[in-house]
Structure 1
Amino acid sequence: MTQLVRMFVIVFVVSFGLIYLTSYLNDSEGYSGSNTLTIYNWGDYVDPELLDRFEDETGIKVIYQTFDSNEAMMTKIGQGGTTFDVSIPSEYAISKMKEDGLLLKLDHSKLPNLKYIDPRFMNLSFDPDNAYSIPYFWGTVGIVFNPELVGDLTFSSWNDLWDKSLRNQILLLDGAREVMGMGLNSLGYSLNDTEEAHLQEAKAKLLQMTPNVKAIVGDEIKMLLANEEAAVGLVWSGDASEIMDENDKLDYIVPEEGSNLWFDNMVIPKTAKNIEGAHQFINFMLDPEVAAQNAEYVGYSTPNEAALALLPEEIASDERFYPDEELTERLEVYDNLGKRMLAHYNELFLEFKMHKK
C-alpha cells in the first residue's frame, strides 16, 4: 500500500510540474490563455505577415485554424467544443448562423475603421445594419473563357453559353444556387426567384444546355480551365483570378443580365472567449493599409474603399473584379430561401445533373 501511495504522489507531482512549466513558458512569451485569439478561416485567406504584425502590435497570440466549406465551419461552431473568436463565413452561412444563434452581436463603437468600408457593401439583406458581420472580401459569379478556343463569342450575355459552337466545352460549378441562378438570370428572372413556373422554366432551359456541358465539378475546375481542358467555365471571381494567374490567355466577364454578388464577412462566433481581442482583430483588418496588403496577397476584391486607393492601378482599375456601380446594381446577394425552398433548388439541380449523366 505504501508503494502504491508513493507512486500516486510521484505521478501527481510530475503532472503538476508539467502544467506549471507550460503555463510559465506561455507567460514568459507574453501570452496566457486569456491573451490568445483563435481565428477560423478558409485556407490561405489572409497574409501571414499580417497575423505576425497583429501579434506584435497587440501582444495577443494568434491561433489560426482553417475550414474548407461553410457547412464544415458551421458544424464545428455549432458543436461548441472548440473556442473560435473570429470566423469568416459567406453571406448565406451568416444568415443561417444568425437563425441558429451561433453569432454574437458586434460592438461598432470598437470598430472605428468600419468607416472605410464602401457603403454599397453595408446593410445588405443577409445582415441588416451589419449587426453580426463585417465585409472581408467580395466578388461575383461569372464566366471564364479562353478567347483562342471560343471564336467570336465574348459572353456579354448568359445566353451565349447555349451557343451550339460550345458543344462539350463548358465546365460548371457543382452548386445549385450558382447553376439555377444562371438559368434564372438568363431568362431575366431574379436568382432568388421562388415562383414555381419560373423555376421549371429555368430547369428546362438548363436541360437544353447539356450538350455543351463537359462536366459539373468542384474545386478542380480551376486546374482544368488553367490547363485548357475546356474553353469556358462558370466560376466565382476569386477562382477566376487564380485561374488567370496560371494562364494569362483566359478572360473573365459578368454577363449583362446580372449575377450573384457574394461576400465573406468577419464574425464573432458564440464560442468566443476573447471578445475584446476579436474586435481588435476585426478593426485591425479594416485598416486601409492592412486591407490593401491583404487584398494583394489573397487576390480577391476588397470592400474597403480607402484600401482600394492604395492598390496598384492595374488591380484597382480592373473592372472584371471591381465592376462599376451600374453593374453592381444588377447583382444580387443570395437570399436565405428557407429549408424547403433550398431543398427544392437542390432537387431541380440534381435533376439537371442526372440528365447530364
Structure 2
Amino acid sequence: MVKGRHDRHGDTALDRLAREVARGMYGQGGPSFSRRGLLRTAGVGTMALSSGGLLAACGTSGTKQSAEECVSKDLSTTEKKLTWSNWPLYIDEKGKSLPTLEAFESQTGIDVTYNTDVNDNSQFFAKVRNQLGACEPTERDIVVLTDWMAARMIGLGWIQELDMKAMPNVEANLVDTLREPEWDPGRKYSVPWQSGLTGIAYNSKFTGEVSSFEELVTRADLKGKISMLTEMGDTMGFMLKLTGADPSDFSDDEWGAALARLEEIVASGQVRRFTGNDYTGALNKGDIVACEAWSGDVIAMQYDNPDIKFVTPEEGLALWSDNMMVPNKADHLGNAQELINYYYDPEVAAKVSAWVNYICPVQGTEDAMAEVDESLVGNPLIFPTSTDLETTFAFKNLDSKVREGYEKEFNQVIGA
C-alpha cells in the first residue's frame, strides 16, 4: 500500500490556492500547477529559508565515501518493499490515489512507501548529509534530485551504482540527449525522472512577443513589468549568455561580468521582482507582462488562459533534469531498479507526463500519449524534437565552496 502521499511541507497560501484552482478546473486527475515551481516558492522563492540558512546547507561539503569503504547490501529478494523520496505534485494523482504507483505494487508485490519530502535540493541535502557522510542508512531507497545536486552526491561517493541490464526499459527507451551527462557518464548512478526547460513567458493580452532575454531586460515598455527567477542557475545562465560566456564552462571573471550585468538590470528598475512559481498568478492578471518561466508552469497556465505564450529566447533554453538515484546503505537496490524500469515503459510514462506536464525522458511516450490525452501529443514542451533541443544549455557543475560563494553574491544582488 502506498504511504505518505500528501506531505505538503512549505506551502504558502498562494500555493494552496493555486492547487485548489487547478483541482477545480481540471478535476483530481487533471493537469496541475508546476510541482517544481511550487517547491521553489516554498523554499527559496518565498524566502522560507533565509539566504544564510540556504548557504549553510550548501556550504557543508560532506565526507566522501566509496563503494569499497561504504558497502551496501541488497535485501530485495527477501524484503519486497522500498521507500521513495520525491517532490510533491510530481507523479500522477487521482483523488487520494497514485494510479501508476499502485499498479506497480499490484504487479510486483513490492510495497512502496512514497514520501514527498524533497522540498528543496539544499534542504534535502541537509537532511541526509550526516548519515551519508558517515556511511549510515537514510531509510530511503530512491531519491529524486536536480542535476547539480545529483552531481554533488555522486561526486561524494554517496550513491550506489545501478545495473542497466536490470533495467532493460531504461536501456532501450532513455532519450539520447540525456544518456551522457558530464557528471554521470553512461548513467551509472542516475536515471532521469522528468526534465524541463527555462525560457520566457509573456501575456499577449498586455504585450507583444518578447523574443530574447536581451529584450526582456532592456525593452522600455517592459520596465517594472517583468520578473526573473530566484534560481541561480536559471537566471545566471542567461546573464552569462548575455555577456558572451558559456553557462556550462565559464571562469570567475566571466561570472563577475555576468553578475555585474544583473546588478545593472536590477538598478535600472526593469525587474519588478524575483520569484519562484508565484509569477504564474501575476502573469495571468497582467501585474507582470513577461517573465523568465518554467515550461511545465506555462502548459498548466495555458489550459485556462490562451493568452499565455512560451518563447524560446534567441539566447537558447536552459535544460535541466530531476534524477532518480539509490543512496548508499539503501537495502533494496533490486526493488528500486524494478520500479525505475517500470516507469520507463512508455505507456506508464505517458500517464505521468499527462499529469506533471514536463519533458518526458522516455522514448515512445508520445505515441502512447494519444490514448491518455491526445491534446498533449506534439506539445514541444513535453516532447521536444532534437531540433527543439539544439539551442538548450545547462549550468556548469560547481565545486561546493565555489557554489556557496556564487550563491551568496547572487542572493545579495537579487535582495534575497
TM-score (ref. length: structure 1) = 0.84
Query: Of 168, 172, 180, which residue of structure 1 is paired with 2:224?
Result: 168
User: What is the CA distance between 1:279 and its match in structure 2?
Assistant: 0.8
Query: Of 28, 35, 40, which residue of structure 1 is paired with 2:80?
Result: 35
* Pairs within 5 Å for 1:193-272: 193-210=249-266, 211-272=269-330
- Structure 1 stretches of 4+ with a deviation exceeding 4 A read none
User: What is the CA distance between 1:93 and its match in structure 2?
Assistant: 1.0
Q: CA–CA distance in 1 between the matches of 2:300 and 2:85? A: 22
Percent of counterpart pairs with the same letter? 27
Deviations 1:123-179 (A, max 9, x none): 1112110000112211111111101112x3x22221111211101111111122221
User: What is the CA distance between 1:217 and its match in structure 2?
Assistant: 2.0
Which stretches in structure 2 are left out of the alignment for 5+ residues?
1-76, 93-97, 132-136
User: What is the CA distance between 1:99 and its match in structure 2?
Assistant: 1.7
Deviations 1:181-233 (A, max 9, x none): 11111233211343234223322322332212111122323333334321112
In 1, are the aligned partners of 2:174 and 2:361 still within 8 Å (CA)? yes
2:210 is aligned with 1:155: yes
In 2, are the aligned partners of 1:179 and 1:349 still within 8 Å (CA)? no
2:155 is aligned with 1:99: yes
Label 1:321 to 1:55 Cα distance change in 2 as closer, same or farther (>3 A): closer
Moved more, 317-326 or 300-309: 317-326
Q: CA–CA distance in 2 between the matches of 1:219 and 1:148? A: 21
Per residue, is there more helix in 1 or in 2? 1
Q: CA–CA distance in 2 between the matches of 1:109 and 1:320? A: 30
Q: CA–CA distance in 2 between the matches of 1:35 and 1:228? A: 51
Counterpart residue number, 1:343: 404
In 1, are the aligned partners of 2:210 and 2:290 still within 8 Å (CA)? no
Counterpart residue number, 1:329: 390
| Counterpart AA for 1:44 | L
| Counterpart AA for 2:221 | S
Counterpart residue number, 1:145: 202
Label 1:124 to 1:193 Cα distance change in 2 as closer, same or farther (>3 A): closer
Deviations 1:268-319 (A, max 9, x none): 1224221111111000011111011111121111011111222245423222
User: What is the CA distance between 1:321 and its match in structure 2?
Assistant: 4.3
In 1, are the aligned partners of 2:144 and 2:325 still within 8 Å (CA)? yes
Counterpart residue number, 2:91: 46
In 1, are the aligned partners of 2:121 and 2:149 still within 8 Å (CA)? yes
Q: CA–CA distance in 2 between the matches of 1:307 and 1:323? A: 12
In 2, are the aligned partners of 1:258 and 1:327 still within 8 Å (CA)? no
Q: CA–CA distance in 1 between the matches of 2:110 and 2:381? A: 38
SS of equivalent to 2:364: helix
Deviations 1:46-91 (A, max 9, x none): 1210111011001111111112111222233334354111121111
Counterpart residue number, 2:114: 64
Q: CA–CA distance in 1 between the matches of 2:384 and 2:350? A: 18
| Counterpart AA for 1:278 | A
In 2, are the aligned partners of 1:46 and 1:297 still within 8 Å (CA)? yes
Deviations 1:14-53 (A, max 9, x none): xxxxxxxxxxxxxxxxxx9922211100002112101110
In 1, are the aligned partners of 2:319 and 2:394 still within 8 Å (CA)? yes
Moved more, 180-189 or 219-228: 219-228
SS of equivalent to 2:327: coil
Counterpart residue number, 2:332: 274
2:132 is aligned with 1:75: no
2:371 is aligned with 1:310: no
In 2, are the aligned partners of 1:252 and 1:320 still within 8 Å (CA)? no
Deviations 1:250-285 (A, max 9, x none): 111221222321001111122422111111100001
SS of equivalent to 1:52: helix
SS of equivalent to 1:252: strand
